[in-house]
Structure 1
Amino acid sequence: MHQRRTGLVLLLFCAALFLIALGNHQLQGSTEPRVAGIAMEMQLDHDWVTPRVNGQPFLEKPPLSLWLDVTAMHLFGPTELAVRLASALAGLGCVMVFYGMLRYLGRSTALALLAALMLATMASFWGNVRQVGEDALLCLGVSLALLSFLRAHLDQRDDSSAWPLFSLGIAIASLSKGLLGLALPGVVIFVYLFIESVQQGRIQPRDWLRPLSWTFLGMLPLLFWLGALYRQQGLAGLHEILWANSVGRFNGSFVDAGHFEPWYYYLGKLPEAFLPWNLLTYLGLWHFRRRVRGDRQLLFFYVWLVAQFLLLTLASSKRMVYLMSLSPAAAVIAAEYGSLWLARWRERRYLRAAQVGVFALALLVYLGVAVKVQPREDREEGFVPLVTQIQQREAQGQSVVLYQPSERLAGAAVFYTRSRLPALDDPSALLSFLRQSPTHVAVMESLSPPAPPLKILDKQVVGKRAYYILGAQAAEALQAASGHS
């Protein structure tokens, strides 16, 4: 009964942390408008195979998060809340799976609860599960796969109930992020089994073959989707998703991918990686360095943290959000080390109250950010004013096109207008379009004001980017001036 009550309290805590005020602000940043727009296009096209941005295939990653976003929009309407819901529920599921698996692995209720609360209140984890995107789903899939593997491996039974959960985790991770969803759990399992083989002085083939066979089973949903994609896009589509956006991002050969950073990028980000529990994580890594040799579970979480960090460091494309899948391992080590300090607390009667106070304060701080701060950021980060102006011009009978739209502009436009706006890529095509009629208008993103013969009708700034509304009057005026001279 005590364990059920503890699990219920954790569930309610995380539900409040991840779901309250989830839809009270506009799509912000670069990822949210893009992903929400792709989901809206998938809903408009009724095409669940090929994701698209402004009508063009977008094959950076598989579409699991998009499928869930479209489903949520069908159920709750095309709102910001709907497209953020999949990430929030994935984060909630990740914390609850994490807590349940730690309990099954023999960790005490107190330790499992502390680790789960630390995971839920990591700033980067909290921020990512409240955004549109696939990273929370990736973290859920990787965590489910690795924790299930550890449980099954320690059980040493071929019929362990954890193996189907392992395959489910692989399916979620690979359908969320493609080959990266296989590499993140795969590198941990490989290094862990290698270390065990060295310690034991022999290789157990069964220990290697079981996760390999269950991995193949977990890959079946991804393979089915790749088959459907091949029917629509041919070998070019498969090359885009499997090579350019997977291998190419890793070795740097896909130059258009962006996010290229030096090898030491993540080292510089360590001070903020697992806030506010990062210091406990790093001190714990040092403190348990000797104990880890005889503790198979602790060794696993060490490998989880270090192996994934090294893999991501080797990759050419780097972003802070990629470290999210390391968060559960960091939370375990932080909780283990924190428990040592809590055990030394002399005034134990105040211990529970202090813990409750710390996490209650964390909840209030995060909800304060969600309720007060994020809506204020709409004034600088929101696309609604720009899209509203586009809609107003269309209502007045003007024809609006996007000129060389970025993914965030195209995504925000299709999400908020519920329609796909025409796009032009060639300067001569833009001038030709503007000269056709005084009612023709273009939206252009530019670092500097467009020069004549284009005329700026209005300007909107979203974040640090300027978007110019261009009208057809500029071309007509230029022609009239030339004829008069």
Structure 2
Amino acid sequence: MVAVFLLAGTIGHDPWTGDETYGFGIIYHYYTTGTWLVPTNAGLPFMEKSPLYYWTAAIFCHLFGDTLPLHDAARLAIIPYLLLCLVFLWKTSQRLFAAHPDEERRVLDWITLSLFLGSIGMVRYVHEMTTDVAFYTGTTIAVYGIALLLCAPERWRGAGLWMGVGTGMALMSKGFFVPAMLSMVGLALLVLVPSLRSRNTAAAIGVAALAMLPFLLWPVLLYLRDYPQFVEWFWNNNVGRFLGFSVKWLGAANRPFYFVENTPWFVFPAFPLAVVGVLTTSWRDWRAPAFLLPLLVIVMGMTLLFLSASGRVHYLLPLFSSFALLAAPVLLRLPAWFLVGWNGFARLLFSAMVIGVWAIWWSIHIPGISLQERPFPFLAEFANRWISLDFTPGTQTIACMMAVAITLFWLASFRLNARDARHTAYIWLVGMAAVWTTIFTLLLPWIDNTKSQRGMLASLIRTVDTLPEKDECMDGYWIGESLPSMIQYWHGGRIVLLKEFEEISCPMVLALQRKNEPESEFLGWKVMWRGRRLRNDGGKEYRLYVRQRD
């Protein structure tokens, strides 16, 4: 069931607005041009992220692009990163919990993996075509290297290797956050653990530095061959986002207490368990590697996030493995009556959600009838806020069969022991998987129709094809990074992104404006088309302006 959960939502839908669309624009550039240095989206350099995941996804496009749509082939690159992450999280758990009896250690290993995969934030981001999957995988590998050095300093070669490889992967996925965090963790460990102040540690650091060298090739080549883009990546998108001087034009500004508000639910259920672990662990156990290492990773990571001028909730993802490691032993200490009550609540909640998904599907799967004629009309009215009830999804035989199988798997999970800590973690993970997978089998066509830009862009291109200017260029005025990449992918066109009206030089302009915004800025232009994505317009619409002829 977990395997189906990992695939459901990973393939079978278009790139969705946000990080996926511009990310796929970069992947598509690498795939079609064969150039690998400067991340480029719709013809323009895009230096927000390092390119490791984009390179991997482009390779997967070459491997699977003949049998899958390119965007699905690119998303498949998530799977090897995730499997690598789970392997190293398992190895870290085995190393940190080695002092426990064998059976208890195995239980802790499985609880750790279940808490990691079942956390609310991970359920979404483990399916998205973004750099985050390589980001938290690199972090997990580096943390394993540190755990190996803490618990088995005689294995300093392996410890240094994995510290360097993991840190390099994180650097090449999303910049300097994780290298900075791990440096702070390392310094704190040197202060708190006297046994680390040894030749083995120095040798491990040397090996880590050597292991990082291959990951420094890209920044060095970028510096040598395209210095302005190196400055954009290093200074504006890394240093500037942290200190704040580039947030004004790059976006994603942090707010006071933003991470205080979002961490409890985003890292649930690992977060409250980790908090209980911190509050109930005796002082004499604080220096135990199984407690100290994940705690330091969380503390140093959260410190940097609080200090950063830029903040988005998925910046927490590199900390998930440490939250799971800190939370796992707590689940073993909870009394049976609490586990029974919690599992009863979880089963009731997830069962209601699965039934709700089935009921929504039953209510909306017949197009062309009024709300009052539908089964469960109140659910159809609820769904109509986000999706179009007029959409016809086509045959869903396979999707329905998969959803039935998932529902039966969920019912079979009721055989798990509600008094057992390991089964408690399983019940939560399987419940999250059941809800997610049911949604992304039964309701995926409607969700994709709503979130994809394909239909809107097809309408735009049909309009452009009727114009005398159809063979001329088109400027994009404040339309963001997402739309141009999708125009290039689906229609082969290219839009020049502009933020100053005076820079417009093409006879056609695609602009993003509020619906009630007057057209006074475009004097001498005529609106030839208006469009928006279904239910996701945010009060805005795209307008195609054509310069009026004299």
| Shorter-normalised TM range | 0.7 to 0.9
1:378 — aligned with what?
448
2:432 — aligned with what?
362
Asked if residue 470 in structure 1 is aligned to residue 461 in structure 2, the reply is no
User: 1:104, CA displacement in angstroms?
Assistant: 3.6
Q: For the residues of structure 1 that align with 2:152 and 2:424, how far apart are their CA atoms? A: 37
User: 1:196, CA displacement in angstroms?
Assistant: 1.9
Q: For the residues of structure 2 that align with 1:157 and 1:355, how far apart are their CA atoms? A: 34
Q: What residue identity is the alignment partner of 2:236?
A: A
Indicate how the Cα distance of structure 1 residues 411 and 210 shifts in structure 2: closer, same or farther if over 3 A, else same: farther
User: 1:94, CA displacement in angstroms?
Assistant: 1.3
Q: For the residues of structure 2 that align with 1:424 and 1:346, how far apart are their CA atoms? A: 57
User: 1:233, CA displacement in angstroms?
Assistant: 0.8
Q: For the residues of structure 2 that align with 1:354 and 1:406, how far apart are their CA atoms? A: 44
Pick which of 44-53 and 175-184 moved more: 175-184
Q: For the residues of structure 2 that align with 1:394 and 1:221, how far apart are their CA atoms? A: 47
1:191/1:307 contact within 8 Å kept? no
Asked if residue 163 in structure 1 is aligned to residue 160 in structure 2, the reply is yes
2:510/2:543 contact within 8 Å kept? yes
1:99 — aligned with what?
90
1:411 — aligned with what?
485
Give a deviation string over 1:318-357, Cα, whole Å, max 9, x none.
1100001111111122221111116778999654566654
Pick which of 355-364 and 25-34 moved more: 355-364
Query: TM-score scaled by structure 2?
Result: 0.75
Indicate how the Cα distance of structure 1 residues 192 and 35 shifts in structure 2: closer, same or farther if over 3 A, else same: same
1:169/1:218 contact within 8 Å kept? no
Matches within 5 A, 1:104-253: 104-105=95-96, 106=98, 108-157=105-154, 159-197=156-194, 204-206=197-199, 209-234=202-227, 236-253=228-245
2:519 — aligned with what?
450
1:260 — aligned with what?
253
Q: For the residues of structure 2 that align with 1:163 and 1:14, how far apart are their CA atoms? A: 33
SS in structure 1 at match of 2:334: helix
Q: What residue identity is the alignment partner of 1:403?
A: G
2:530/2:544 contact within 8 Å kept? no
Q: For the residues of structure 1 that align with 2:288 and 2:41, how far apart are their CA atoms? A: 49
Q: Choose from 305, 314, 319 the match for 1:321.
A: 314
Q: What residue identity is the alignment partner of 2:232?
A: E
Q: For the residues of structure 2 that align with 1:218 and 1:339, how far apart are their CA atoms? A: 37
Pick which of 159-168 and 28-37 moved more: 159-168
Q: Choose from 293, 311, 322 the match for 1:300.
A: 293
User: 1:366, CA displacement in angstroms?
Assistant: 2.0
Q: For the residues of structure 1 that align with 2:59 and 2:492, how far apart are their CA atoms? A: 16
Taking only aligned residues, the RMSD between alpha carbons, in angstroms, comes to 2.8
2:476/2:497 contact within 8 Å kept? yes
SS in structure 2 at match of 1:48: coil
Q: For the residues of structure 1 that align with 2:255 and 2:545, how far apart are their CA atoms? A: 43
Q: For the residues of structure 1 that align with 2:200 and 2:492, how far apart are their CA atoms? A: 51
2:38/2:45 contact within 8 Å kept? yes
2:456/2:531 contact within 8 Å kept? yes
1:149/1:211 contact within 8 Å kept? no
Q: Choose from 527, 531, 535 the match for 1:460.
A: 531
Give a deviation string over 1:51-92, Cα, whole Å, max 9, x none.
112322222232101101111111222533222222343223
1:19 — aligned with what?
7
Q: Which runs of 4+ in 1 moved over 6 A?
A: 343-349
2:476/2:495 contact within 8 Å kept? no
SS in structure 1 at match of 2:207: helix
5+ long unaligned stretches in structure 2: 341-415
Indicate how the Cα distance of structure 1 residues 17 and 291 shifts in structure 2: closer, same or farther if over 3 A, else same: farther
2:145/2:162 contact within 8 Å kept? yes
1:249/1:315 contact within 8 Å kept? yes
Give a deviation string over 1:411-456, Cα, whole Å, max 9, x none.
22223335534556654564x633xxxxxx4322223353343322
Q: For the residues of structure 2 that align with 1:270 and 1:329, how far apart are their CA atoms? A: 13
Asked if residue 90 in structure 1 is aligned to residue 157 in structure 2, the reply is no
2:60/2:74 contact within 8 Å kept? yes
Q: Choose from 264, 271, 276 the match for 1:278.
A: 271
SS in structure 2 at match of 1:468: strand
1:249/1:316 contact within 8 Å kept? yes
SS in structure 2 at match of 1:445: strand
5+ long unaligned stretches in structure 1: 1-12, 435-440, 480-485
User: 1:24, CA displacement in angstroms?
Assistant: 2.3
Q: What residue identity is the alignment partner of 1:145?
A: A
Q: Which has the higher helix share?
A: 1
SS in structure 1 at match of 2:487: helix
Indicate how the Cα distance of structure 1 residues 196 and 354 shifts in structure 2: closer, same or farther if over 3 A, else same: closer
* Larger relative contact order (CA 8 Å, sep ≥ 6): 1
Q: For the residues of structure 2 that align with 1:209 and 1:263, how far apart are their CA atoms? A: 39
Indicate how the Cα distance of structure 1 residues 313 and 375 shifts in structure 2: closer, same or farther if over 3 A, else same: farther
User: 1:157, CA displacement in angstroms?
Assistant: 1.5
Pick which of 151-160 and 205-214 moved more: 205-214
Q: For the residues of structure 1 that align with 2:319 and 2:417, how far apart are their CA atoms? A: 34
Q: For the residues of structure 2 that align with 1:51 and 1:323, how far apart are their CA atoms? A: 24
Q: What residue identity is the alignment partner of 1:87?
A: I
Q: For the residues of structure 2 that align with 1:357 and 1:453, how far apart are their CA atoms? A: 63
User: 1:168, CA displacement in angstroms?
Assistant: 1.8
Indicate how the Cα distance of structure 1 residues 127 and 293 shifts in structure 2: closer, same or farther if over 3 A, else same: same
Pick which of 47-56 and 347-356 moved more: 347-356
Asked if residue 28 in structure 1 is aligned to residue 102 in structure 2, the reply is no
Indicate how the Cα distance of structure 1 residues 365 and 169 shifts in structure 2: closer, same or farther if over 3 A, else same: same
Q: What residue identity is the alignment partner of 1:204?
A: R
